[in-house]
Amino acid sequence: MTVTSTALLDVCDVDVRLGRGRHARRILRDVTVSVRPGEIVGLIGETGSGKTTLARTILGLTAPERGRIVIADHETSALSPRRRREFRRGGTVQFVFQDPLRSMDPDRTVAQSVAEGLQASAEYGRISRGEIDRMVDDALRLVGLDVSLRDHRPAEISGGQRQRVAIARAVVCRPRLLICDEPVSALDASNRNKILRLLADLRDELGLAILVIAHDLSSLAGIADRVLVLYRGEIVEDGPIAEVFRRPRHPYTGLLLASAPTTGERPLDPVRLRVVRDDVTRDADACVFAARCAFATDACTTRPRDVEIRPGWRVACHHTDTWWDAAVG
C-alpha cells in the first residue's frame, strides 16, 4: 500500500489542559502527530500518558489550549459546534472505543448499532430502509461476521465478535481515518491477532489510515508502520516501528522494550534502566523523563529539542547518541 506524502491527520504543537483555574493540569504538551493516508500509526502510552486525552482532542471532544488539529485540510479544532457536527456527519474520521460493551447501546441490536454509523453518510436522510440494511450487512461481512448476528444484542455475542461489530459501525460509512483506542487489550492472543489482521486488511481494502492507541507493544506488533511513544503528555520518540523496536533512541522507549516479557535474549536490562532519580529536579522546564532516567545529567534540566535521526524519525533526548551504549555496555 503506497503511502502518499500529504498528511490526512495533522496534530500541530497541541497543548491541552484539563480542569479549571488553579486546578488546571497540563495533560499534553507540544504534541505533534501526523498520519498519512494508508498508514497505520501506533501511539503507545502507559497510564497517565495522556493518550485518551489526545484521542478526545483529535475527535473534538476536548478543545486544545494551543495548537491545531487538521483533518483532511479542515482545521477541526477551530470549528463551531454546528460545523463540527456537520464535519462528523461527513464521516471522514471514525472512532472505535476501547470497550464495545460500553460504547454500544445494550438495548439495541447489532444491526441498529451499525446503522447508527450511517448517520455520517451524506445521504442518510434519503436512503431507503432496504439500502440501509444492505450497507449494514456489507459492513458485517467486511469485518468477517456472519450477517445472522444482526438481530442479536451486544451482550449475547462474544468479546471478539463485539469488537468486530464496533469496527463494522466505524467503517460502514467508509471513513478515511480510523482511530482505535486499545482495540485488542481485552482479547486473548489469538483473537487479538485476528482483529489486528482485520485492521490491516481494512487498510488495504479501503485505503484507510489508522491510528491505534495502545498501552502495550503487543497491540501494535505486526501491523503498525510507525510508532509514537507518549510519556506524561509529551512525544518522546516518533519513528519506523521495526527500527525503533530493534534499537530505540529514547531511554523510555528502551525501558518499555526491556520490560516486555520475552523468552528471547534481551539486549537491555530493565533493572538497569529503571531508576528513580532523587537528584534530578522535577522542573516544568526539565526533560519530562529525567526523574526516571538512568542517564540524566545536568543537561537534562532543560527540555530537549527534537533530534532528527533521519527524516521520519525524531527523538526528544539530549543523550540520544550515547545512552544505548552505556546501557548495553
Partner 1 sequence: MSRRSLLRGTLRGVTPKIAALILVTVLVLVVFGGTIAPQDPLHQDVAHLLQGPSGRHWFGTDYLGRDVFSRLLAGSRLSVVTALEAVAVALVLGAVPALAGGVLGRVYDFVANRVADAVMTLPTLVFAIALIAVLGNRLTPVMLAMGFLMSPQFFRVTRAATVTLSGEQYVEAAELFGVSRSRTLLVHIAPKVLPTIVVTAATATATALLTVSSLMFLGIGVVPPAPTWGGVLSSDLNYLSQTPWAPLFPAAFIMLTAGSLNILADAARDAGRGGRVLVPAVPALATDPDDLEEAAHDRISVA
Partner 2 sequence: MTASLLRETSTATTTPVLDVRDLSITVGDGAAEAVRSVSFRIERGETVGLVGESGSGKTLTCRTALGILAPGCTVTGGTLAVDGADVRTVSRRDWRSLRGRHVGAVFQDPGSYLNPSIPVGRQVREAIRAVSDLSRRQARERAIELLALVGMREPEHVYRQLPGELSGGMLQRVLVAIAICGDPNLLVADEATTALDVTVQAEILELIKSLRDSRGLSVLFVSHDLAVVAELCDRVVVFYAGEIVETGPTREVLENPQHPYTRAMMRVASLGDYTRRELDVIPGAPPAVGAALPGCRFAARCEFAQAACSQAPVQLTPHGAGEVRCRRADELVLAATAPERRSA
Which residues are near partner 2 by CB under 8 A?
Answer: 46-48, 188-190, 193-194, 196-197, 200, 215-218, 220-223, 241-242, 245-246, 255-264, 266, 270-271, 274, 276
The continuous run of DSSP H or E covering 113 comes out as: helix 110-116
From the list 5, 22, 23, 47, which residue makes contact with partner 1 (rule: CB under 8 A)? Answer: 47
Rounded Cα distance between 56 and 77, Å, is 11
| Rounded least distance, CB 288 to partner 2, Å | 15
Q: Does 99 bind partner 1 (CB under 8 A)?
A: yes
Q: Does 295 bind partner 1 (CB under 8 A)?
A: no
When the beta carbons of 166 and 220 are compared against partner 2, the nearer one is: 220
Residue type at 201?
A: D
| Rounded least distance, CB 101 to partner 1, Å | 6
Q: Of 218, 243, 214, which is closest to residue 314 (Cα–Cα)?
A: 243
CB 13 within 8 A of CB 19: no
| Rounded least distance, CB 88 to partner 1, Å | 4
| Interface of this chain with partner 1, residues 188 to 227, rule: CB under 8 A | 215
Residue with cell 489482521: 197
From residue 134 to residue 173, the character string flagging contacts with partner 1 as x (rule: CB under 8 A) and all else as - is ------------------------xx--------------
Residue type at 4?
A: T
From the list 117, 239, 254, 304, which residue makes contact with partner 1 (rule: CB under 8 A)? Answer: 117
Residue with cell 440501509: 132
Among partner 1, partner 2, none, what binds residue 52 when CB lies within 5 to 8 Å by partner kind?
Answer: partner 1
From the list 104, 196, 199, 209, which residue makes contact with partner 1 (rule: CB under 8 A)? Answer: 104
CB 68 within 8 A of CB 18: no
Q: At what angle do helices 129-142 and 159-171 cross, to 10 degrees?
A: 130
Residue 97 to residues 6, 56, 94, 136: CA-CA distances in angstroms? 27, 11, 10, 19
| Rounded least distance, CB 291 to partner 1, Å | 19
Among partner 2, partner 1, none, what binds residue 194 when CB lies within 5 to 8 Å by partner kind?
Answer: partner 2
- The grid coordinates listed for 306 are 527534537
